[in-house]
Structure 1
Amino acid sequence: MNYGFGDVLTLLGALGLFLYGMRVMSDALIELAGDRMRSILATTTSNRFLAVLTGFSITAIIQSSSATTLMVVSFTNAGLLTLVEAIGVIMGANIGTTVTAWLISIFGFKISMSAIALPLVGIGFLLSLRSEKHWQQWGYFIIGFAVLFIGLQFLKDSVPDIRSNPEILSFLANYTSMGFLSVLLFLAIGAVLTLVVQSSSAAMALTLLMTWQGWIPFDMAAAMVLGQNVGTTITANLAALIANYQAKRAARAHLIFNLAGVLLALLVFYPSIHLVDVFMQRTEGASPLVQSAAVPVALSVYHTAFNIVNTLLLLGFVEKIAAIVSWMVPEEKAPEPAIDQPVFLSNISLEYPQTGIKALFDESLRLLQNAGYKAIAHGLSVHREDLDKGVRLRQVLEWSEPIPVNIDELYQTRIKSVYGAILEYATRLQSECDLSEEEVEIVRNILIADRMLVRTVKRMQSLHDNIVLFMSSGNESIIEEYNAIRRRILKVMREIHRASESESPLRHIRKLEKQREKAKELDVLASGRVNQLLLEGKITQVMATSLINDSDQASKIVHSLIDIATLLYFPRDRLVARLEEKREDAA
Structure 2
Amino acid sequence: MSNLNTSELSTSEETKSHLLQWAMVAFLVYLLICAVGMIGGGFKLATGDHAKELFAFASNPFAGLVIGTVATALIQSSSTVTAIIVGLVAGGLPVAVAVPMVMGANIGTSITNTIVSLGHVRAKEEFKRAFAAATVHDFFNLFSVVIFLPLEIMFGFLEKIGSWLSSFFYGAGDTSMGGFNFVKAATAPVVKTAKGAVEGFGDQIGGIALIVFGIALIFLSITLVGRLLKKLMVGKAKDIMHTAIGRGPISGIFSGTLVTVLVQSSSTTTSLMVPLAGSGAFNLRQIYPFTLGANIGTCVTAVLAATAVTGNAEAALQIAFIHLTYNILGVVIIYGLPFLRYLPVRAAEWLGATAAENKMVALGYILGVFFVIPGACLGISSII
TM-score, normalised relative to structure 1: 0.31
The structure having more radius of gyration, on CA atoms, is 1
Higher relative contact order (CA 8 A, sep 6+): 2
- Larger helix fraction of residues: 2
